[in-house]
């Protein structure tokens, strides 16, 4: 991504905040795993969206004072001793080139710069990314900083910038779409590698390994999420990810997986028969789910309320479940379908942003109906990533086959 993308994002963000305010965004730090080992670092996506930098322990400061914008980046100082152990720190010139931020300071200067900015100007508000998914999760750097600010500057108003950036991220740029296409293409290659090597009697994690190999060999550094490789009854558990069961002769295998390319995520689900052929009942269930998915695809267009997509899926699935003899009333559908059909996709697999909106061009979202029948050991989900266009939608993952006849034909080439 070119630095102009990040510069434009910062410009748009400052247009959305009050005058005489400061925005601070933290890149984050890798938490400790055990002893001296840390978990793999994953950059805060809002920081990345505004800077293009994926190093830990960096901070971006934006300010709007008397209508005039300014921006500074705070990076770690180089340490020649640590460099021999952990590698070189990012240099000022590199940070400038990636982000387009000209003013680059060191992280140990933040408090001084922040205090001087407050002392010399009538700063009224500070915006921080105060996202918090659950009550009991650890305090983030941003939340910790907010507590310190309230203690040291009680007159300063602390605001949450998370939803503002989230709403910006809902509308994707053409550059972002291209990265999503790349992630989807690599995911397709991984799925085909699974299908080429899938045989009854394999462990679910063996199937997963064929996907992992393709991603690693294509330079993918991380997955969109932990791969779900669920066979038989395991596929009726929505977020099953143990992947440690043996795949039986007549099992369906539900795969929910995705590559992450330059932090942009694919989110794809496919369901296939390990034997190479769907049974009559498996095919019947699969066809209902595919019918619902296509109905959502045909319905999605600008101006449609986001929630309408799930209503369409439920209508088709309910009718299909009656045909399958699973239910008699629409209200019973939740016994076999209990999640939503869509979420945004982008820098996060379940991307941020308000879902109580009408659809707009350049939104990217999932289309993922499913049916889960524990008593029959059948779970089917089919998921594509769709882009809302001016008149309807484009299936970004259309290259990944899902027609049951085509799946059987591909499996027959093993």
| CA atoms of 64 and 211, how far apart (whole Å) | 47
Query: Model confidence at 144, in pLDDT bands (50, 70, 90)?
Result: very high
Looking at every residue in the chain, the average pLDDT score rounds to: 96
DSSP strand E in 219-274: where? 222-223, 228-231, 252-257, 259-261, 264-265, 268-273
CA distance 245 to 230: 8
Average pLDDT over residues 198-221: 97
Report residue 234 CA to chain centroid gap: 23
The predicted model gives 13-29 an average pLDDT of 97
Mean pLDDT of 29-52: 94
State whether residue 304 is helix, strand or coil: coil
Please report which confidence band the pLDDT of residue 299 belongs to, taking 50, 70 and 90 as the band edges.
very high
Q: Average pLDDT, stretch 45-51? A: 98
Residues 52, 11 contacting (CB under 8 angstroms): no
pLDDT band at 125 (very low <50, low <70, confident <90, very high): very high
pLDDT given at position 138:
87
Continuous segment of H or E residues that includes residue 192: helix 174-197
pTM of the model: 0.95
Minimum mean pLDDT among 73-87, 171-185, 213-227: which range?
73-87
pLDDT band at 385 (very low <50, low <70, confident <90, very high): very high
pLDDT at position 163 is: 96
Beta carbons within 8 Å of 410's beta carbon, 6+ residues apart: 192, 195, 401
Domains with residue ranges and CATH for the chain: 3-169 (3.40.350.10), 171-411 (3.90.230.10)
The whole-number pLDDT of residue 112 equals 95
CA distances, 117 to each of 62, 65, 113 (Å): 11, 10, 6
H-run or E-run covering 372: strand 370-373
Residue 36 confidence (pLDDT): 84
Tell me what the mean pLDDT of segment 301-321 comes to: 98
**Residue 84: pLDDT band with limits 50, 70, 90:** confident
The reported pLDDT for the residue numbered 81 is 84
CA torsion 273→279→283→286, rounded to 10°?
Answer: -40
Q: What is the pLDDT of residue 20?
A: 97
Neighbours of 96 (CB within 10 A): 15
pLDDT > 90? residue 117: yes
- Neighbouring-strand partners of residue 72: 61, 103
pLDDT of residue 82: 84
Q: What is the pLDDT of residue 164?
A: 97
Average pLDDT for 64-84:
93
């Amino acid at each position: 991504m070119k630095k102009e993308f990040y510069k434009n994002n910062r410009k748009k963000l400052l247009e959305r905040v009050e005058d005489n305010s400061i925005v601070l965004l933290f890149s984050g730090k890798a938490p400790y795993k055990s002893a001296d080992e840390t978990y793999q670092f994953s950059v805060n996506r809002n920081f990345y969206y505004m800077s293009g930098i994926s190093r830990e322990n960096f901070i971006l400061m934006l300010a709007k004072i008397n209508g005039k914008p300014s921006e500074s980046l705070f990076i770690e100082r180089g340490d020649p001793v640590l460099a021999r152990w952990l590698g070189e720190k990012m240099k000022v010139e590199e940070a400038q080139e990636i982000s387009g931020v000209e003013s680059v300071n060191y992280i140990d200067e933040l408090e001084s710069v922040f205090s001087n900015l407050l002392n010399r100007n009538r700063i009224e508000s500070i915006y921080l990314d105060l996202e918090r998914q659950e009550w009991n999760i650890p305090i983030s750097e941003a939340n910790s900083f907010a507590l310190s600010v309230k203690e040291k500057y009680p007159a300063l108003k602390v605001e949450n910038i998370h939803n503002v950036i989230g709403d910006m991220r809902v509308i994707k740029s053409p550059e972002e779409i291209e990265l999503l296409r790349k992630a989807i293409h690599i995911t397709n290659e991984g799925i085909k590698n699974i299908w080429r090597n899938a045989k009854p009697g394999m462990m679910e994690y063996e199937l997963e390994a064929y996907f992992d190999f393709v991603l690693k060999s294509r330079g993918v550094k991380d997955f969109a999420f932990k791969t779900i490789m669920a066979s038989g009854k395991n596929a009726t558990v929505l977020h099953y990810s143990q992947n440690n069961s043996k795949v039986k002769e007549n099992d369906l295998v539900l795969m929910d997986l995705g590559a992450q390319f330059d932090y942009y995520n694919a989110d794809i689900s496919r369901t296939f028969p390990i034997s190479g052929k769907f049974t009559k009942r498996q095919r019947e269930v699969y066809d209902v789910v595919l019918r619902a998915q296509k109905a959502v695809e045909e319905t999605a267009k600008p101006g449609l309320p986001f929630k309408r997509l799930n209503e369409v899926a439920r209508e088709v699935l309910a009718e299909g479940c009656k045909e399958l003899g699973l239910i008699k009333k629409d209200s019973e559908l939740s016994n076999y379908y209990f999640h939503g059909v869509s979420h945004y996709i982008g820098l996060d697999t379940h991307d941020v942003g308000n879902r109580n909106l009408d659809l707009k061009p350049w939104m990217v979202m999932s289309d993922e109906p499913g049916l889960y029948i524990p008593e029959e050991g059948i779970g089917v989900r089919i998921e594509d990533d769709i882009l809302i266009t001016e008149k309807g939608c484009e299936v970004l993952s259309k290259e990944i086959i899902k027609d049951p006849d085509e799946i059987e034909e591909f499996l027959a080439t093993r």
